[in-house]
């Protein structure tokens, strides 16, 4: 059986309605007694499972000490535009 809610109730309880839809229940939203929208579960999840290692070998570290603080001379050289 489909859950029937008003627009105001849907606005105030959207997270609860989405949980119901995730569990297989359908929700019909009514405005002034007439159905205007149905909430139903999507056919597939919005995002697939993450796949680690997809950038392996594509990133090249030019300076292995990039994380170390710069010396005052290096900062001045960078701000002056000379390398």
pLDDT digits (tens, 9 = 90+) for 43-62: 776 677 788 888 888 888 88
Whether residue 3 contacts residue 25, with contact meaning beta carbons closer than 8 Å, is answered with yes
Q: Per residue in 10-30, pLDDT tens?
A: 999 999 999 999 998 999 999
Cα angle 9-12-13, degrees, rounded to a multiple of 5:
85
Cα angle 36-39-45, degrees, rounded to a multiple of 5:
150
Residue from 36, 29, 37 nearest 12 by CA: 29
What is the C-alpha separation between 15 and 29, in angstroms, rounded? 14
Tokens 């309880």 belong to which residue? 13
CATH 3.40.1620 is the classification of domain 3-39: yes
């Amino acid at each position: 059986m489909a859950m029937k809610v008003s627009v105001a109730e849907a606005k105030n309880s959207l997270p609860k309605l989405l949980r119901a839809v995730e569990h297989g229940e359908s929700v019909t939203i009514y405005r002034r007694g007439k159905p205007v929208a149905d909430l139903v579960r999507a056919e597939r999840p919005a995002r697939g499972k993450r796949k680690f290692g997809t950038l392996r070998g594509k990133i090249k570290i030019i300076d292995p000490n990039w994380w170390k603080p710069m010396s005052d001379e290096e900062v001045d050289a960078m701000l002056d535009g000379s390398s």
